[in-house]
Structure 1
Amino acid sequence: MAERSVISVHTKPDVSERLSRLASATQRSKSFLANEAIERYLAAEEQFLATIEQRVAGIDAGEGISSAALLDRFEDRMKAKFDQPS
């Protein structure tokens, strides 16, 4: 059997009720569903942080554009979009 760790989570009553309904509908335990939700959340957050770290490393390496250049690009696109004849 896999090792397990027990945690206690406090939720709002409506969240607990929703979890109970979903567990019943899917014939899964509330613990199984909570663990799945936590695993998905952690994977998404870890990916988000990894992306930020990659982007920061790119900026540190001189990649990217200045805020002034970005603003110029934005203004050019807005002009192109709104200055076109209908």
Structure 2
Amino acid sequence: MTDTALATPIDASLRVALETLAAERGLSSEEYAAEALRRVVESDQDFRAFIQEGIDAADRGELIPHEEVMAELDAMIAEHRAQCQKVA
């Protein structure tokens, strides 16, 4: 794969933050920006795949009734509150 350049406008405060963070990591601002962009793209791809898994499960009829989910959440909250009261 061949690297290509991407030009995008950024405001002055973002530019300063970018240069500062890049320098702290021993990278050029271009290297840091490319790494950050790569992380955002991978995160979005992972999120889309996660959502698609849910859609696929729903299409197969693999659903959990709302009441069951809420009962489980209520139990988790009650357990957490009980733990907090023990600590206090």
Q: TM-score over 0.5 for the alignment? A: yes
Which residue of structure 2 lines up, in the alignment, with residue 54 of structure 1? 53
The answer to which structure has the higher helix fraction is 2
Where structure 1 has 5 or more consecutive residues not aligned to the other structure, the ranges are none
Query: What is the distance in 1 between the residues matched to 2:65 and 2:27?
Result: 51
Where structure 2 has 5 or more consecutive residues not aligned to the other structure, the ranges are 82-88
Q: How much has 1:68 moved relative to structure 2?
A: 4.0
**Residue identity (%):** 22
TM-score (norm 2): 0.72
Give the root-mean-square deviation of aligned CA atoms.
Answer: 2.7
Counterpart of 2:44 in structure 1: which amino acid? E
Query: Structure 1's 69 and 27: CA in aligned 2 closer, same or farther, altered over 3 A?
Result: closer
Greater than 4 Å deviation, 4+ residue runs: 72-75
